[in-house]
Amino acid sequence: MSYNLGQQTRKIARVRSLFVAALVLACAFGTVTRAAAQNVTPPTTPDAIAVPEGNSAFLVGHAFGTQGYVCLPTATGDTSWTVNAARPEATLFTNVFGQPVQIITHFTSIDANPNGNATIPVSLSGNATWQSSFDTSKVWAKATGHIDAGSDAASCPNDGAIQCLLLESIGNQQGPTGDQVLVRAYDQDWKDISH
């Protein structure tokens, strides 16, 4: 009997330790995310992709994936990036205590909650979509400006990459439990630079 009691006590202690560790990690992650966002200084950008006054960076992530472009030859013998039939698929990560943590998934989907910036009827082929990995809130966007990669050393330095875009929210949606990480970020015609 005492063996089972001792084993049960250890299990309870282990569960409590895991709960405390999860709580500490959640608090630290929330603090790290907000602190990191407050220290983000976006680069100066050309007018074609300049974010309007009053907007600020709220989240930084590094993406891994594909954006659905293909590099094709032009009539002049050069090459250019052209939208491909393949859909964009990317996962954005941020570092928490030196470890990558998934924060957002980027893909194409139909805008389920268009706002005043959306073209009606909505595109049935889908729009660029970002979905929070934490609460599944979503934002849809369209490009409103662009510059060629490599044309601005500060904001779009990677020569030969896809264009750098200014994106405008065309809709957003809360997660199924009412959470709204990305809804709050894009609630007021929020614009973003993406490349």
Q: What is the pLDDT of residue 76?
A: 92
Q: What is the pLDDT of residue 103?
A: 92
Q: Which residues make Cβ contacts (< 8 Å) with residue 112, sequence separation at least 6?
A: 138, 171, 173
Q: How confident is the model at residue 32 (pLDDT cuts 50, 70, 90)?
A: very low
Q: Among residues 144, 177, 148, which one has the least CA distance to residue 162?
A: 148
Residue boundaries of the structural domains of the chain: 1-39, 47-194
Q: What residue ranges in the chain does DSSP mark as E strands?
A: 62-66, 69-73, 79-83, 89-96, 99-109, 127-132, 138-147, 164-173, 191-194
Bridge partners of 147, per DSSP, are 164
Please state the rounded mean pLDDT for residues 116-126. Answer: 82
Q: What is the pLDDT of residue 186?
A: 53
Examine the pLDDT at 34 and tell me if it is beyond 50: no
Q: Among residues 136, 141, 151, which one has the least CA distance to residue 181?
A: 136
What is the distance between the alpha carbons of residues 73 and 166, in angstroms, rounded to a whole number?
Answer: 25
Task: Give the tens place of pLDDT for each residue, 59-93.
Answer: 788 888 876 677 888 889 888 877 665 567 889 99
Q: What is the pLDDT of residue 190?
A: 41
Q: Among residues 58, 72, 118, 65, which one has the least CA distance to residue 92?
A: 65
Q: What is the pLDDT of residue 189?
A: 41
What is the distance between the alpha carbons of residues 152 and 71, in angstroms, rounded to a whole number?
Answer: 20
Examine the pLDDT at 128 and tell me if it is beyond 70: yes
Residues 180, 181, 185, 186, CA torsion sign: negative
Residue 57's identity, in one-letter code, is A
